[in-house]
């Protein structure tokens, strides 16, 4: 850090309540903006059967790992619907499909 920069610093004890409040408000806004930018947003477009419908699924997660878990859960739910429709069985039934 440049030594001249330290001369420009003002301790919080010498600031007014209004200045401290304004600085806190700006910090909160900046923090929220940063969190929003850092969130992972993945949009999946899945072609599904007519009984399920052609839908667009949006998955939002804070980490890629959380997004991957959400995608896997969605795929599993769609698979269960397809199994019931195509073979008439629930996904938890253990039947051999011929």
Kindly report, residue by residue over 2-19, the tens digit of the pLDDT.
Answer: 778 888 888 999 999 999
Whole-angstrom distance, CA of residue 29 vs CA of residue 98: 59
In this prediction, residue 98 carries a pLDDT of: 52
Residue 80 CA to residue 69 CA, distance in Å, equals 17
H/E stretch holding 61 reads strand 55-61
* pTM for this prediction: 0.42
Backbone dihedral angles phi then psi of residue 51, each to the nearest 5 degrees = -65, -30
- Whole-number Å distance between alpha carbons of 88 and 80: 10
Average pLDDT for 21-34: 92
Number of helices (H) and strands (E) in the chain: give both, helices first. Answer: 3, 2
pLDDT digits (tens, 9 = 90+) for 71-90: 888 888 878 877 887 888 77
The pLDDT confidence band at residue 97, using thresholds 50, 70 and 90, is low
């Amino acid at each position: 850090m440049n030594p001249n920069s330290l001369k420009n610093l003002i301790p919080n004890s010498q600031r007014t309540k209004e200045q401290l409040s304004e600085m806190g408000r700006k910090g909160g806004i900046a923090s929220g903006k940063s969190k929003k930018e850092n969130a992972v947003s993945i949009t999946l477009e899945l072609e599904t059967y007519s009984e399920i419908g052609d839908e667009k699924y949006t998955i939002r997660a804070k980490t890629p790992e959380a997004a991957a878990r959400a995608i896997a859960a969605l795929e599993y739910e769609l698979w269960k619907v397809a199994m019931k429709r195509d073979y008439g069985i629930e996904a938890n039934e253990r039947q051999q499909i011929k």
